[in-house]
Amino acid sequence: MGTVVKSRRGSMGASLMPGTLVSVDADGAVTRHAVGEMPVDGTPWIALESALRTARSDGSADSVSIALHAPHVEVRGIALPPLAEEEAVQLLSRAGGRYFLGARGVQVVGVGAIAAKGEQRMAAAASSRLVTAVEAAAKSAGFADIVLVPAEAAWASATAQFWPARARGGAAVIIADPSRIVVVETHAGAMTAVRRFRGGVHDVTAIAAVLRAMKGDVAIAVVGPEPVRAELVAALAAIGVPMQPLPADWAALAADPVALAARCADLVTAPRLASIATRMANQDRVRRFGWVVAAVAAGVFLLAAGTELWGTHREIAAVEQARDVIRPAVEATLVGRTSMEDAYRRLAEVVATQRSAPIWSGVLGDMAGRIPDDAYLTGFRARGDSLVIDGFAVSASRVFDALTESPVLESVRASAPVRRQAPDGDAMERFAIGALRRAAPLGGTP
């Protein structure tokens, strides 16, 4: 059975099952076409080509996305190292029978996005003869681009259309069929696991356990023919598994899982199935497109660089012209400014010297009022804040005590031993006293 949906973007979606093609027009009308069995002798699949040509009767679609259903395709999760898509495809293609139970002959393999650490990566496999025959029929029907995807991936993409507000979260869609039940687990519209059960409600407990094991707040929907769907919904509700209601505009497609897969086939980004010839053609097209983009980018870069260089030279010329106009005034201003700066610098040096120089007049005045009348000063030496005074006195200790009590001096000490001398006949004591000028208090001079 198969389904074709016309897309607004000039593409169609299709589902393919053995023997039948079901087409859905823009108004949602469903039509089934018999396509017979795939020829086994390698001859063209004329019936499928005719059905696709009929579905493309108006010629508006240039590409088609076809969802393959079992037994045409097998989907399963496989533990793989973090390989790129092409590397993973080569690994699985070399030993398809080892990973896929239904693989017979040469297989075409597609893999999903790289999974998180410890999680399985979804992969799909289909017969190389089938993929080649479908691609050839679609090309003969007038389609330039053909994409083949597993129906399970299309159903997973449908969850993001059911609930757009929860498109980035987890969801599960249950395909209810009289002969089997398929549970597709999804995250952000991409399938993360596929589990299969017997038809009817025989495995409803196991289905409920799978749904409860999913992480986070999971939206769950059941699609399929109404009698089968209603029976399964009732059985799950009876054991406490609620269903998420589907939008009204999806009700008709939800009753037909094949049509639903066709509607959402063009939304699938991975896994995709393509023959070797198609893969090589796609790679060549991507490579050519990359060269075109690189050439355009280089041209745009050179154009932008040339425009920027021209603009820069233009601005420089304008600046030079403006500088020529104001140069005389600026030179005169600079001369005056230099002279003024030199005068200010010298004035600042004088002020700094004046502020840093000790004021000894106050110290001398204070000493003159304190030393005894019978004392004589014969020398005064100052350096920085230090001073040394020499003199004679009847009692050098009285001079020392007087200077010790001075508010403008500190650290008064004898700089040399006191010696008795008689300069004019009377015996006097010769002294040398050192001291430090006391720092000026805030706001005044000591």
Task: Tell how far CA 44 is from the center of its chain.
Answer: 48
pLDDT at 114 over 70: yes
Q: 116 has which bridge partners? A: none
Helix axis angle for 396-404 and 360-370, nearest 10°, is 130
The alpha-helical segments, DSSP class H, found in 117-239 are 128-140, 151-162, 204-213, 226-238
Tens digits of per-residue pLDDT, 83-107? 888 888 888 877 777 888 777 778 8
Q: Which residues pair with 67 in a beta bridge?
A: 15, 149
Between CA 366 and CA 380 the distance in angstroms is 14
> What is the token pair recorded at 116?
């998180």
356 compared with 302, residue with greater pLDDT:
302
SS3 state at 66: strand
Q: Which residues contact 158 (CB under 8 A, 6 or more apart)?
A: 173, 223, 250, 260, 261, 263, 264, 267
Architecture of domain 360-437: 2-Layer Sandwich (3.30)
In angstroms, the CA 257 to CA 1 distance is 11
Pull the structure tokens for residue 85: 């898509």
- Which structure tokens are listed for 127? 């017969």
Q: What are the tens digits of pLDDT across the range 23-48?
A: 766 566 677 888 999 888 888 999 99
Residues 153-209: tens digit of each pLDDT: 999 998 888 888 777 788 899 999 888 999 999 888 888 899 999 988 889 999 999
Can you give the residue ranges of every domain in the chain? Answer: 3-274, 295-357, 360-437
- Full-model pTM: 0.64
